């Protein structure tokens, strides 16, 4: 893999078409490669595996450990020190705890000690309680102090995201002195940094200078003269979603993190923010589907258990909906076509409501929808419901008229559909807006509540109207 | 707004708690501010509006233009040149075309001429066909050439994302010569840049150097000595989702874009990638909910029309599902409780299937799920379906037994539920995996197909078993 990569990028004449290079080299491992390693693992061909895997990047190694399944223990044993410690910080909760269950405390502590501060904290945080305290005992005093401090910050806060390694200089330095300092001190600086922070003698944050500004400014000018004083500073307790919002708005590469008296204590970099954005997007998507976490690598039993909560809620709301049907048993007994048709009204309402809900939940998350335009949106969604209600009512009414040769049954189902789509539009917007105003995350709760509503209204309107007009 | 911001960040003693500053200042506009502007617009208080809005950042100005509703035309007239041209590139399709419908061709062309190349292309691309060609005529020859070239790249490709402004140097330069060049040429360089690219005499891309490496390396060393030759280069036609994947894997700040012979023609920066990730996440979320685009700002009629496609598909699948019920009309006539209970089995199957589908769609998007572990995941999901099927079957069977005093009816609904949850688990994983293998985006299509399946199986299993065992 890696030889080929180096060859392709140092070669002046590109042989393969660029798109192919990309598909093959840059986007994780191919399924063929993983199958090959699985075969080698099954044959216990240690040297073959080491040869193929030594040069894997950390994310690639993590992907391999994940996808080879239970063979991953053998893979770790074979690769040993060829496996970069960073590989472990890319693993999901389940895989990490599975792997660590077979490793000694000192071994794990040695891995943690090699990581950057934010990765070390994240990794320790992923461990099971009992394992965590065991590993902590084996950490060096310095690393343990950093990890303990980090774990004290609230989950998903800036304190958990930040690195403690950054470049800070006093405000009176010139560009030239700063450049000389960077060259002289390069050994003790972080591997990569994206901004230089300026602090006062009390280590309070004053402002940031981008590296391109340092490079493009005359050496005799003061750093103060090119400082960006409007640069946002992030309080250490700020929620990570808000931090991401700041990076989006300001197109930042890194942001200073300050404690409650304004002292600079860390830096958050944009690559961590990309991870946050991915994680938040995943959370939103999964919770709309009634799942709390990506459980793709959880055990069967754990998955079934975590999903059952949601199914239980759905069972209760389903009983509420069908209790409406039971009110009309007598009508159904007389006209059995009602039983056949009633799911259509409920289903159309559920789908129309979900459409509105999805748009509203997303717009609330991106702040496109807020108190300033809430009523305008609710009004529009209600109108959309009425418009589509009337359109599909005509269509459905005609089909039902033709199918059951009953114009009155067609009229009843058409009216019920208009009512249900109106309700779906109104509540599809109203429910998430109201939940958000009450500081409740609308993504998981709103859907089930809305579907219950469109079921209840759908059944009640259709069966009720039928009872009044057809019996 | 802005005075306050500047005051807070230059002040050494921070008065307000940091979290409050954040909530107030950094995350877009407050609803109070928007309401205030709306009131001023209604009163036509031009000077008051100018005073409050002159210092808005481009994203904030775009948010304001969006949220003041139809008053936005008056706002643009009042602000005139106080409105940064970049503000327009943050607007959604609908708002942009609404605003431009009232503006002259030369005025719009002047705005486009002020933007960076990628923003200019994006903005022109958002215009309606007829308007686009009118504006193109008013652009300067140079800008028009750039825009035309950009629009020739496929939508959502690297060519659309890249800026043409970047810093490239020959490979034999030293760090010192590079630094001197940057200071001397700073006027002609882009405002911000994150990497320096090294090219050969034919302008073919050789490698990248991070700015922190330039700053930390001795002046007499050659740039070649600190070049990262393994840096990924992006073919101009690569899909933006793949580009984002590269940034994620390699934690990049910027990536070089090359043409088909390897010449450096542009740069993609991480802030553009953040926008891509947001857009892709939005697309995934919305399409799971049966919506193609965020239509929160579309007109009522356009929204109703675009959503109706999905509702029509749902109507057809609903008819397929209820046609199953109609097979059992005779059974329902005899035992009306069947009509009451049948939605429960269908609804539980639909929800369990959606859970599996959501996890699978997300894992497919992140490549956590691929051919290498597809069958393992399908098997596990089927097992999860059986486990939860048995658990809820016992619960539901008991409730139905008690409610209708019929142990046999309880047993029938319990069996139907196990069957339906098994089917939901299997197809919830199988359908999106198969669609992905056929290169079809599973997010929109899989949901409706799966729900139809769980409806059909749910009704058929329950009513069929009831017909066999209860009649």
Q: Tell me: do A340 and A417 sit in the same domain.
A: yes
Nearest Cα of chain A lies from the Cα of B353 at a distance, in angstroms, of 9
How does residue B15 score in pLDDT terms, banded at 50, 70 and 90? very low
Q: Tell me: do A346 and A461 sit in the same domain.
A: yes
Residue A295 covered by a domain: no
For B95-124, b/e burial (b = at least 16 CB within 10 A) is: bbebbbeebeeeebbebbbebbbbbbbbbb
How, if at all, do strands A168-170 and B264-269 pair? unpaired
Average pLDDT over residues A116-139: 88
Q: Tell me: do B333 and B408 sit in the same domain.
A: yes
Of B18, B318, B329, the CB nearest to A258: B18
Domain boundary among A225, A254, A288: A288
Domain boundary among B132, B155, B178: B155
CA B285, CA A388: separation in Å to the nearest integer?
A: 22
Looking at residue B27, what is its pLDDT? 65
Residue B294 covered by a domain: no
The answer to whether the Cβ–Cβ distance between B388 and A17 falls below 8 Å is no
Q: Which two tokens stand for residue A408?
A: 């009155």
Nearest Cα of chain A lies from the Cα of B48 at a distance, in angstroms, of 20
The answer to whether A150 and A121 are in contact (CB under 8 A) is yes
Q: Residue A57: is its pLDDT beyond 90? A: no
The answer to whether the Cβ–Cβ distance between A296 and B329 falls below 8 Å is no
Q: Which residue of B has its CA nearest to A26?
A: B246
Residue B161 covered by a domain: no
Q: Which residue of B has its CA nearest to A8?
A: B230
How does residue A427 score in pLDDT terms, banded at 50, 70 and 90? very high
CA A162, CA A456: separation in Å to the nearest integer?
A: 49
- How far is CA B73 from each of CA A67, B48, B189, rounded to the nearest angstrom? 55, 17, 36
> Which of A285, A333, A360, A398 to probe the B interface (max B CBs under 10 A)?
A285
Q: Residue B233: is its pLDDT beyond 80? A: yes
How does residue A18 score in pLDDT terms, banded at 50, 70 and 90? very low
Residue A294 covered by a domain: no
Of B60, B290, B355, the CB nearest to A307: B355
How, if at all, do strands B205-210 and B254-258 pair? unpaired
Q: Tell me: do B183 and B262 sit in the same domain.
A: yes
- How far is CA A149 from each of CA A111, A139, B358, rounded to the nearest angstrom? 19, 14, 36
Residues of the domain holding B263? 168-288
Residues of chain A with C-beta less than 8 angstroms from the C-beta of B371:
31
Total tally of structural domains belonging to chain A: 3
Q: Tell me: do B203 and B269 sit in the same domain.
A: yes
Angle between helices A270-288 and B240-250 in degrees, nearest 10: 120
Average pLDDT over residues A205-229: 92
Residue A108 covered by a domain: yes
Average pLDDT over residues B102-111: 90
Q: Residue B353: is its pLDDT beyond 90? A: yes
Q: Tell me: do B85 and B172 sit in the same domain.
A: no
Q: What is the mean pLDDT of chain B?
A: 89
Q: Which two tokens stand for residue A407?
A: 């114009």
> DSSP assignment of A12-24, as one string?
SS--S-HHHHIII
Q: Which residue of B has its CA nearest to A200?
A: B12
Domain boundary among B155, B184, B214: B155
Give the least confident one: A56-70, A392-406, B23-37, B365-379: B23-37
Residues of chain A with C-beta less than 8 angstroms from the C-beta of B67:
370, 372-373
Give the least confident one: A1-15, B175-189, B362-376, B448-462: A1-15
Q: Tell me: do B279 and B351 sit in the same domain.
A: no
The CATH number linked to A335 is: 1.10.357.20
Q: Which residue of B has its CA nearest to A177?
A: B215
Q: What is the mean pLDDT of chain A?
A: 89
Residue A233 covered by a domain: yes
Q: Residue A22: is its pLDDT beyond 50? A: no
Looking at residue A410, what is its pLDDT? 97
Q: What is the pTM of this model?
A: 0.85
Q: Tell me: do B245 and B136 sit in the same domain.
A: no
Q: Which two tokens stand for residue A423?
A: 């309700």
Strand order in the sheet with B205-210: B168-170, B195-199, B205-210
Looking at residue B332, what is its pLDDT? 96
Looking at residue A70, what is its pLDDT? 87
Q: Tell me: do A24 and A134 sit in the same domain.
A: yes
Q: Tell me: do B348 and B248 sit in the same domain.
A: no
The answer to whether B207 and B195 are in contact (CB under 8 A) is no
Residue B179 covered by a domain: yes
Looking at residue A255, what is its pLDDT? 95
| CA A319 remoteness from chain centre | 33
Of A13, A362, A383, the CB nearest to B286: A362
The rounded percent of chain A whose pLDDT value lies above 90 is 61
> Which of B5, B6, B8, B9 to probe the A interface (max A CBs under 10 A)?
B9
User: Which residue is listed with tokens 């470049």?
Assistant: A167
Q: Tell me: do A90 and A129 sit in the same domain.
A: yes
The per-residue pLDDT for range B208-217, each reduced to its tens digit, is 999 999 999 9
Looking at residue B14, what is its pLDDT? 39
Residue B191 covered by a domain: yes
The CATH number linked to B76 is: 1.25.60.10
CA A383, CA B269: separation in Å to the nearest integer?
A: 41
């Amino acid at each position: 893999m890696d030889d080929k990569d180096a060859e392709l990028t140092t070669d002046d004449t590109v042989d393969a078409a660029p798109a192919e290079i990309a598909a093959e080299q840059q986007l994780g491992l191919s399924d063929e490669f993983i199958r090959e390693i699985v075969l080698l693992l099954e044959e216990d061909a240690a040297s073959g595996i080491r040869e193929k895997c030594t040069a894997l990047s950390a994310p690639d190694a993590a992907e391999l450990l994940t996808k080879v399944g239970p063979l991953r223990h053998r893979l770790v044993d074979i690769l040993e020190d060829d496996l970069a410690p960073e590989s472990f910080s890319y693993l999901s909760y389940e895989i990490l705890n599975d792997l660590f269950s077979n490793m000694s405390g000192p071994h794990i502590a040695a891995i943690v000690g090699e990581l950057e501060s934010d990765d070390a904290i994240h990794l320790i945080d992923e461990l099971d309680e009992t394992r965590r305290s065991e590993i902590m005992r084996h950490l060096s005093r310095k690393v343990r102090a950093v990890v303990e401090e980090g774990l004290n910050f609230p989950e998903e806060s800036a304190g958990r995201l930040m690195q403690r390694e950054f470049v800070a200089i006093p405000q009176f330095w010139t560009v030239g002195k700063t450049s000389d300092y960077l060259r002289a001190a390069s050994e003790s600086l972080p591997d990569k940094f994206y901004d230089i922070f300026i602090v006062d003698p009390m280590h309070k944050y004053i402002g940031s200078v981008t590296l391109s500004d340092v490079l493009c400014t005359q050496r005799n000018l003061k750093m103060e003269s090119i400082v960006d004083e409007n640069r946002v500073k992030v309080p250490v307790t700020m929620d990570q979603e808000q931090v991401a919002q700041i990076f989006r708005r300001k197109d930042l590469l890194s942001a200073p993190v300050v404690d409650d008296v304004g002292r600079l204590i860390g830096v958050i970099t944009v690559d961590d923010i990309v991870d946050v954005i991915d994680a938040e997007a995943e959370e939103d998507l999964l919770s709309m589907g009634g799942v709390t976490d990506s459980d793709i690598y959880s055990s069967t039993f754990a998955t079934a258990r975590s999903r059952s909560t949601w199914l239980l809620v759905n069972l209760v709301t389903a009983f509420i909906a069908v209790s409406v049907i039971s009110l009309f048993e007598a009508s159904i007994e007389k006209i059995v076509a009602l039983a056949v048709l009633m799911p259509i009204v409920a289903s159309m309402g559920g789908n129309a409501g979900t459409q509105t809900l999805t748009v509203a939940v997303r717009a609330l998350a991106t702040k496109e929808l807020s108190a300033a335009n809430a009523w305008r949106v609710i009004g529009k969604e209600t109108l959309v419901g009425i418009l589509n209600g009337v359109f599909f009512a005509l269509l459905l009414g005609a089909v039902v008229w033709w199918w059951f040769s009953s114009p009155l049954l067609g009229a009843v189902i058409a009216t019920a559909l208009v009512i249900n789509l109106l309700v779906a539009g109104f509540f599809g917007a109203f429910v998430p807006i109201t939940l958000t105003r009450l500081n409740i995350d609308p993504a998981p709760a709103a859907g089930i509540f809305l579907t219950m509503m469109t079921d209840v209204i759908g059944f009640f309107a259709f069966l009720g109207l039928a009872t009044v007009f057809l019996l």
